Amino acid sequence: MTHSNQTRTPLPADLVAEIAECGFYPQLVCDTIAGGLGEAEVQGHLVHHEATFAGHEVQRHMTVLVLTETQLLICHTDDGDNGVPGRALTTAEVVALRAVDSVVVTRSIAHPEVFPGSDAQLVETWLTLVWGAARRLDIGPATCEDPDCDADHGFTGMQVPNDLTLRMSPAGDGDHNTRRLLEFGALLQRRIG
């Protein structure tokens, strides 16, 4: 089943090629993205494909971020549907750029004392996006300053935004993909600023 009856702007060839290169249901992923975008034109994108191992099984997950003039489309595709083999689960979430509160780009650099020299190496990158859709609650026992106190002080906690974090490394994702994360993160930071 497709959304072919809707009016759509064709996806850029480089986005389609990156999705196809992953070999993870490329037509389904492209159809999901195109359905979410409708007539909006793509201004930037990032593709992240990861595999995790659970016992003897390999579970694949793909995240595609697509930037338009006014929105960020987030497409997630997973192997299986609640563990049912022979199925895939794919979603498209559209977030208005005006709703994005924070775009955080983090780099881990080996040998920072010689940055930007050739011995300085990019080890990992993270792109964290916050728009208030999800929050994580970290709770732990409350304590007081008295080391001899044995009273129950209840609990204390912190609410932390937890919408989306993508992590890439040259070792796991390739240097090109890791640098694409940095470029896309910088583009997104400029757009919401």
Q: What is the pLDDT of residues 29-47, one digit of tens each?
A: 999 999 999 999 999 999 9
Q: Average pLDDT for residues 114-125, to the nearest whole number? A: 89
Q: What pLDDT, on the 0 to 100 scale, is given for residue 86?
A: 81
Q: What pLDDT, on the 0 to 100 scale, is given for residue 75?
A: 97
Q: Average pLDDT for residues 143-167, to the nearest whole number? A: 80
* Nearest C-alpha neighbor of 125 from the set 144, 106, 140: 106
Q: What pLDDT, on the 0 to 100 scale, is given for residue 20?
A: 97
Q: Where in the chain does DSSP place strands (E)?
A: 44-54, 57-67, 71-81, 84-96, 102-110, 121-130, 135-141, 155-161, 164-168
**pLDDT tens digits, residue range 46-76?**
999 988 777 777 788 999 999 999 999 999 9
Q: At 30, which helix (H) or strand (E)?
A: helix 26-37
**pLDDT exceeds cutoff 70 at 84:** no
Q: Average pLDDT for residues 10-32, to the nearest whole number? A: 95
2: which residues sit within 8 A by CB, 6+ positions away? Answer: 31, 35
CA geometry: angle 112, 48, 93, nearest 5 deg: 120
CA distances from 162 to 39, 62, 175, 176, 180 (A): 30, 18, 26, 27, 22
SS3 73: strand
SS3 69: coil
Angle between helix 26-37 and helix 13-22 axes, rounded to 10 deg: 140
